[in-house]
Amino acid sequence: MSGLGTYSPGDSLLHRLPAGAKLLLLVAAALATHWLDRPWRVAVALLLTGVLYAAARIPPALLVAQVRPLWWLAVVLGAFQWWANGWRTAADVVGVLALLVLLAALVTLTTRTTAMVDTVVRLCRPLRHVGVEPERIGLLLALGIRSVPVMIGLARQVREAQLARGLGTSPTAFAVPLVVRSLRHADALGEALAARGVDD
């Protein structure tokens, strides 16, 4: 596992900026991509993003790790756009996609989950009037983030067991135990949450 989507400790300006402000800026940037309709503008925006990463002292390898999972999507999307609308549009679309992912990743890399969760809880506070518990949403968010590596670990274990038993690549031999293990994990997690006083 790379450092994909996890907090990268530091004390740069970006690290110290409140989570709410960063989320707001992210939304603003997403809206602003509307004006990125020429390849050179996209290039400038990507360059600026690179500068932001440098300012946050994120090592270049970690920057690359954020966009690597996108590689195939970018190739397919780019090829299609090139064929349909020419290379300019292709460059625009792929560039903006990478830009958005990089910016979103920059927010996660420089913000502790707790800070993010607190902000979401605050934003959801008005929903209390319609019966939504903001604390629950926050917890759900944290658990979701925590569950990604756990699920990847479970999948790897199932895969290894499958290979060890010579079951080849049968999808059922993979899916069934994975679902069973996930449910068992969810049970255990629920129990642990209760033990740690979540329902009290």
Distance CA 110, CA 8 (A): 6
Count of other CB atoms within 10 angstroms of residue 183: 10
180 contributes a contact to another protein by CB under 8 A: no
Distance CA 5, CA 31 (A): 22
- Cα–Cα separations (whole angstroms), residue 20 to 50, 56, 144, 169, 198: 22, 17, 19, 45, 25
Identify residues 70-129 at the interface with another protein (CB under 8 A).
112-114
Q: What x/- string results for residues 136 through 165 when contact with another protein is judged by CB under 8 A?
A: ------xx-xx--xx--x------------
Q: Is 11 in the site for another protein (CB under 8 A)?
A: no
1 binds another protein (CB under 8 A): yes
Provide the minimum distance between the beta carbon of 75 and another protein in the complex, in angstroms, as a whole number.
29
Residue 185 interacting with another protein (CB under 8 A): yes
CA gap 167, 85 in Å, rounded: 45
> How many angstroms separate the CA atoms of 117 and 74, rounded?
30
Only one of the segments 25-33, 65-73, 74-82, 182-190 lies at the binding site for another protein (rule: CB under 8 A); that segment is: 182-190
Residue numbers at the binding site for another protein (CB under 8 A) = 1, 6-7, 9, 112-114, 142-143, 145-146, 149-150, 153, 185, 188-189, 191-197, 200
